Amino acid sequence: MRSWWLILLLLVAAAAIGGFAYASLSGGTPIDAAKVERKTVQEYVDEEAKTRLAETYRITMPFAARIESIRLVEGTPVKQGEIVAQVVPRDLALQVQAATAAVERLKASIRENDDVSVESTSLQQSLNFVQSMDRTVEAAAERVKSGEARMGYAEKNFARVSKLAQTGAATQDEFDRAKVQQVESTVDYRQDVLVERAMEAAQAATALMPTTIRQYIVRKTLSRDVLEKQLAEAQIRWEEAERDRDRGILRSPIDGVVLERAVSTEGPQPIGTLLLRIGRWEDLEIEADVLSQEVVRIRQGNRVEVSGPAIGSKPAHALVTRVYPAGFTKVSSLGVEQQRVKVVIKFADHDLNWLRKDRDLGVDFRVRVRIITDEKQGALVIPRRAIFRGPQGEWKVFAIRDGRAVETIITMGLANDEFVEVKDGLTEGQGLILAPESSLADGMAVKLRAQ
């Protein structure tokens, strides 16, 4: 096994020595070269993004009702306060009329309840009737006394006549008349007693009549409280009907444009149903989902170049206005889960105007953004294709000196996909090799590749 490794190492060394010898004998390895320049270098984050509106206004059903057909279509401009949708007016008018009628009915019931003229008259009549019954009872009581006296006289008279009849001093006819008088007076007395008792019972019943009427009047007062509560509820329903009539006329809250028409035909809709979405083109901005490891370099106010087919050949200018404080997980097109953070970018006013005018840029259009996180002018700059990693992780280039490749360690500054800043290790105007091949070694002779 060790012999195989030894043979392999000898073959690799021989190939390297042979390559070096070939390069020396043939005049050098063909290369592409560039020079160290002083120029502006930028560090940026490139990302796909999409346009959006900072705020969209949803026109929704304020309550369950029947909506009229909506004639506005997407792209139609609207003015603030303009009617954009409406609940069927007849339905709203009927609700208001029903609520108004309920309020008026209860007000009439309260007025009727408050009218106690009949009850007051009945109370006065009952009081007079009670007084009359009191006099009647008094008269019956006097009649009882009179009847009792007549009965006593008849009994005494009958006793005297009975004694006289026994001695023959009174005739049989006198005796019979005394007997009849005694019986009649007794019967009359008993009738008078019964009449007095009946009058007393009627007096007791009559005495309750004023109390009953007073209680009825008090009860009407309690009924008024109930009616007032019912009136308050009816007034609330009337106010709700008036409110719904106002809310049933849906107006645009802004000067803007219809972005979406969710409902077009007349029909019943539940509360909260989306009818229209309205926005302002002046609020058009960009939303980019940036990788969390890159977003840490982005700050509010960073300049942005916006490009892509939707923008055209001329890039648009914008600024970062907000970086969200929290990230989210997003699955890439390759099925890889990534942590990303939303970054909001606002167009420069002038650029937005020509994008709307010349490109008709709208909402949810795909664009590409280059967020410039840092920039340095007059820096030593080399193409990124010239650098490579050393065995210790350091950055290196092959500089060109006297026709040979010189492996050189550099210190990098700002970097992007095309250029990197060199802080140390190279000088302005120095040549270096682009995309050095793995077979290139320190000290090998090189020559420019024929173009």
Residue 67 CB burial class (10 angstroms; 0-12, 13-18, ≥19) = buried
The separation between CA 250 and the C-alpha centre of its own chain, rounded to angstroms, equals 17
Neighbours of 317 (CB within 10 A): 13
**162-210 residue pLDDT tens:** 888 788 777 788 777 878 888 888 888 888 888 878 887 887 777 777 7
- Asked which of 172-181, 314-323, 386-395 is least confident by mean pLDDT, the reply is 172-181
Domains of the chain as residue ranges with CATH: 2-35+387-448 (2.40.420.20), 46-54+278-376 (2.40.30.170), 60-85+250-276 (no CATH), 99-245 (1.10.287)
Name the residue with tokens 């001329």: 314
Tokens found for residue 83: 């009617």
| Residue 24 pLDDT level (bands cut at 50, 70, 90) | very low
**284-300 residue pLDDT tens:** 999 999 999 999 999 99
Tokens found for residue 162: 């009975």
**84-131 residue pLDDT tens:** 999 998 988 898 899 999 989 988 888 877 777 777 787 778 778 778
**428-450 residue pLDDT tens:** 999 999 999 888 899 999 988 75
Predicted local confidence at residue 444, as pLDDT: 92
**Interstrand relation of 274-279 and 57-60 (parallel, antiparallel or unpaired):** antiparallel
Predicted local confidence at residue 26, as pLDDT: 47
CA–CA distance, 272 with 24 (Å, rounded to integer): 82
Tokens found for residue 336: 């890889």
> Of 421, 446, 424, 422, nearest to 435 (Cα)?
446
Predicted local confidence at residue 451, as pLDDT: 52
Tokens found for residue 373: 């996180």
Predicted local confidence at residue 37, as pLDDT: 94
Name the residue with tokens 């001093």: 169
CA–CA distance, 67 with 91 (Å, rounded to integer): 10
Return all residues near 176 (Cβ < 8 A) that are at least 6 apart.
Answer: none
Q: Three-state secondary structure along the chain?
A: CHHHHHHHHHHHHHHHHHHHHHHHHHCCEEEEEEECEEEEEEEEEEEEEEEEECCCEEEECCCCEEECCCCCCCCCEECCCCEEEEECHHHHHHHHHHHHHHHHHHHHHHHHHHCCHHHHHHHHHHHHHHHHHHHHHHHHHHHHHHHHHHHHHHHHHHHHHHHHHHHCCCCHHHHHHHHHHHHHHHHHHHHHHHHHHHHHHHHHHHHHHHHHHHHHHHHHHHHHHHHHHHHHHHHHHHHHHHHHHHHCEEECCCCEEEEEECCCCCEEECCCCEEEEEECHHHEEEEEEEEHHHHCCCCCCCEEEEECCCCCCCCEEEEEEEEEEEEEEEECCCCCEEEEEEEEEEECHHHHHHHHHHHCCCCCCEEEEEEEEEEEEEEEEEEHHHCEECCCCCEEEEEEECCEEEEEECEEEEECCCEEEEEECCCCCCEEEECCCCCCCCCCEEEECCC
Residue 70 CB burial class (10 angstroms; 0-12, 13-18, ≥19) = buried
Predicted local confidence at residue 25, as pLDDT: 42
